[in-house]
Amino acid sequence: MTGAPAPHGDHPAHDDPAAHDGPALRALLREVVADPARLPLLVALDFDGTLAPLQDDPEASRILPDAVAALRDLARHTDVVRLALVSGRPTGDLHRLADVPPGTVLIGSHGAERSRVGAHGLDADVITLTDDQQDRLDRLGAEMQAVARGRDGVWVEQKPAAVAVHTRMADPAVGDEAERDALVVGGRLGSKVLHGKKVVEVSVLDADKGAALVALRDELGARTVLSAGDDVTDEHAFEALGADGVTLKVGPGDTVARFRVPEPQDVADLLGGLAADLSGEPLPGAPAGA
């Protein structure tokens, strides 16, 4: 990519779990949108833990109102900004739970699915599995149900090309045991095994967020990519973008991201600032020059 920003400064996010790099990132994004050589900008965001606070019940997750407003404002600048969600959720769930504007690309199931939000619904790409992949997916579902059986708080999610074992609502010791068993099953039946926060997801396709995001970047001709996420699976995206990417870790945990903020509200505030910069308007209540 041309016109990429220089590497992050004296305190990389992965060295300081308590870092709050919002102001530095805001300043960098202001520079990006002022430089035609760095545009268009692809804003690619995880959902849970990034735009929506984490919930024990995934059905309770909702995007923060400030993020909804900011994304709608950003969507008005189609000449310079492209929007995408990059999540472990199926794209159908993303469309149902994430209030994002038409034109937003949804990359789901850690890169295995891709859709686009239309004015009247979801324009989804169809996943076609081979007979072997479908057979392994069926076996995965059955064996992961056996992993969860008898373990309170452990539940199984079936996706179009993957099966996930969730342990967020389980006792920690029970959850750890379930995750270990799920990893064993995944090593035997999966093409891709992802171990995230209180979840083990096994796909019969060889896909990850990084490869999917790079493919979207190249397809759109984006010269700068802002990628934000909170989970270990988002590290694939950060690593794939490398020094050219504007990468943002949300919350604690080791990361290769160049910036870090503590919580989803900080992401919403950054998006609001970016939208204000594109509109040439100050944020409400902000002092001149903020």
116 closest CA partner among 101, 100, 103, 97: 103
Rounded-to-integer distance, Cα 116 and Cα 74, Å: 16
Active-site positions read 46
Q: What backbone phi and psi angles, to 5 degrees, belong to 165?
A: -105, 120
Contact in structure between 1 and 244 (CB atoms under 8 Å): yes
Q: What backbone phi and psi angles, to 5 degrees, belong to 87?
A: -140, 165
From residue 134, give the alpha-carbon distance in Å to each of 129, 184, 187, 190.
6, 19, 17, 11
* Number of helices followed by number of strands (H, E) in the chain: 8, 12
Alpha-carbon torsion, ordered 241, 242, 246, 251, to 10 deg: 100
Q: What backbone phi and psi angles, to 5 degrees, belong to 251?
A: 90, -175
